[in-house]
Amino acid sequence: MNRQIFALQRMVRRSISSSSRRQVENNVPKNQKLFQEDNGIPVHLKGGPADALLYRTTMALTVLGTGYVVYELVSAAFPKKKD
């Protein structure tokens, strides 16, 4: 039993510590240049249309959620009268 566990540990360690099969291009300098550029665009929108869509979706959900919370608080504060 112990022999099988040790063999499994060796196999897992070997697969994790082995070098990657394909080399990945380093995009950090390119992204740093893009985000540090002074072009008047807020940093949370410099990623392009996907960032703009994510920002607008987040703002819409925030406004709708706030409105719903206010509605629920008002309806809880003024309960309907029973006849």
In a domain? residue 63:
yes
Residue 20 has pLDDT above 90, yes or no: no
Distance of CA 61 to the CA centre of its chain: 15
| Residue 7, both tokens | 């063999």
Ramachandran bin of 37, using left for φ above 0, alpha for ψ from -120 to 50, beta for the remaining angles: beta
In a domain? residue 8:
no
Residue 56 has pLDDT above 60, yes or no: yes
Q: How confident is the model at residue 57 (pLDDT cuts 50, 70, 90)?
A: very high
Q: How far apart are CA 77 and CA 83, in angstroms?
A: 18
Q: How far is CA 13 from CA 5, 8, 20, in A?
A: 12, 9, 14
pLDDT value of position 17 = 52
Domain range for 46: 40-76
The model carries a pTM of 0.57
Question: What is the number of domains present in the chain?
Answer: 1
Find tokens 């994790």 and name the residue.
Answer: 16
| Residue 12, both tokens | 């897992």
3-class DSSP state of 12: helix
Cβ 56 vs Cβ 42: under 8 Å: no
- Average model confidence (pLDDT) across the chain: 85
Q: How confident is the model at residue 14 (pLDDT cuts 50, 70, 90)?
A: low
pLDDT above 70 coverage of the chain, percent? 89
The stretch 46-63 carries a mean pLDDT of 94
In a domain? residue 52:
yes
